[in-house]
């Protein structure tokens, strides 16, 4: 199981040197990948009663631009989006941006995508929130075509491409596409077409059942049962240090191929504290 870190982007600030130091520390500690979340716009909750999720006060670095920087300063890390809200973005532009990151990182991009929940972003970006589930399936098909073929012709419900292509093409052809989300129809979609899944919950009996259903959907789509990778998440604030090794083992027992360590929300006072915590975690699980 490959263990990586989740960039504490809500708490790390905007100093490029600090971001570099964090990524280089993760790389030096032997973490295999770095995952970053995606939100383009945050909503102001002042006139939105009941709003409980991310707001305009929450900081999100833009993943593709960030990864162009990290590819240079921490070249051994796999770079992972967890997840790009794909239906609110132009598909051909995402294909181009992802290909560029893959080139600059020498084939180390893993593109996580999802449909998202924030209608405010969709409206501001000029996309239809109501068709996002149907659109993402066509988008993944278009992405893979654009990454693999120099010239593409595609006529679908949401995309029209007439004899055009991106250049440069990525190192990986195609780039791995993973998906987030946990609803049953999302699990079915992942089983049909994704290379991997980002579950958000703990590795308990219910998670084992969901993974088994995912394996069934994958097999029903004519794919090998283990064709879909799984990246579990260990959130430091939810798991005491004495239980870290057991939590990692539970993910291994469920067949997880990857694990992301999340230090956000744990009351850490500085970027250095995040580095100290991923160091402590690494020592704990290495025994």
255 shares a domain with 172: no
> What Cα–Cα distance (Å) separates residue 253 from each residue in 205, 244, 278?
11, 14, 22
1 shares a domain with 93: no
**155 belongs to a structural domain:** yes
Contact predicate 74/36, CB 8 Å: no
**243 belongs to a structural domain:** yes
285 shares a domain with 186: yes
Reported as a single tens digit per residue, the pLDDT across 154-181 is 999 999 999 999 999 999 999 999 999 9
252 shares a domain with 150: no
What is the rounded (10 degree) CA torsion for 144, 149, 155, 160? 90
Start-end of H helices in the chain:
16-28, 63-73, 91-104, 119-124, 132-148, 184-193, 205-220, 244-253, 271-286
Provide the pLDDT for residue 287: 66
> Coil, helix or strand for 264?
coil
| DSSP annotation string for 22-75 | HHHHHHHTT--EEEE---S--B-GGGSTT--S-BTTS----HHHHHHHHHHHST
Tokens of 142: 């278009």
Provide the pLDDT for residue 232: 98
DSSP 175: P
6 shares a domain with 51: no
For the chain, the domain total comes to 2
- Spatial distance between the Cα atoms of 178 and 157, rounded to a whole number of angstroms: 23
36 shares a domain with 7: no
- Spatial distance between the Cα atoms of 196 and 193, rounded to a whole number of angstroms: 9
Contact predicate 39/118, CB 8 Å: yes
Provide the pLDDT for residue 209: 97
**19 belongs to a structural domain:** no
**23 belongs to a structural domain:** no
132 shares a domain with 40: yes
174 shares a domain with 37: yes
**200 belongs to a structural domain:** no
Domain with 79 in it: what CATH number?
3.20.20.30
Provide the pLDDT for residue 162: 98
Residue ranges for the chain with pLDDT beneath 50: none
113 shares a domain with 64: yes
76 shares a domain with 186: no
157 shares a domain with 40: yes
**175 belongs to a structural domain:** yes
**24 belongs to a structural domain:** no
Domain that includes residue 283, residue range: 1-13+182-194+208-287
163 shares a domain with 38: yes
């Amino acid at each position: 199981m490959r263990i990586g870190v989740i960039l504490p982007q809500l708490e790390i600030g905007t100093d490029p040197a600090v971001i570099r130091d964090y990524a280089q520390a993760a790389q030096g500690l032997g973490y295999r990948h770095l995952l970053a979340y995606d939100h383009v716009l945050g909503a102001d909750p002042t006139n939105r009663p009941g709003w409980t999720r991310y707001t305009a006060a929450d900081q999100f670095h833009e993943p593709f631009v960030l990864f162009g920087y990290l590819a240079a300063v921490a070249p051994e890390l796999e770079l992972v989006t967890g997840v790009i809200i794909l239906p609110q973005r132009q598909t051909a532009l995402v294909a181009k941006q992802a290909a560029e990151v893959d080139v600059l990182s020498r084939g180390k991009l893993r593109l996580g995508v999802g449909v998202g929940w924030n209608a405010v972003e969709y409206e501001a970006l000029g996309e239809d929130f109501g068709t996002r589930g149907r659109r993402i399936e066509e988008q993944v098909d278009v992405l893979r075509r654009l990454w693999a073929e120099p010239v593409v012709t595609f006529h679908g419900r949401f995309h029209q491409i007439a004899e055009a292509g991106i250049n440069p093409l990525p190192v990986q052809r195609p780039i791995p596409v993973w998906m987030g989300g946990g609803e049953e129809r999302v699990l079915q979609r992942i089983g049909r077409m994704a290379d991997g899944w980002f579950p958000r919950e703990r590795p308990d009996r219910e998670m084992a059942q969901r993974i088994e259903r995912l394996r069934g959907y994958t097999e029903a789509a004519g794919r090998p049962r283990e064709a879909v990778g799984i990246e579990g998440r260990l959130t430091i604030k939810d798991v005491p240090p004495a239980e870290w090794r057991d939590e990692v083992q539970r993910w291994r027992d469920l067949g997880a191929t990857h694990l992301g360590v999340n230090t956000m929300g744990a009351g850490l006072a500085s970027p250095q504290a995040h580095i100290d915590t991923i160091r402590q975690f690494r020592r704990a699980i290495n025994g």
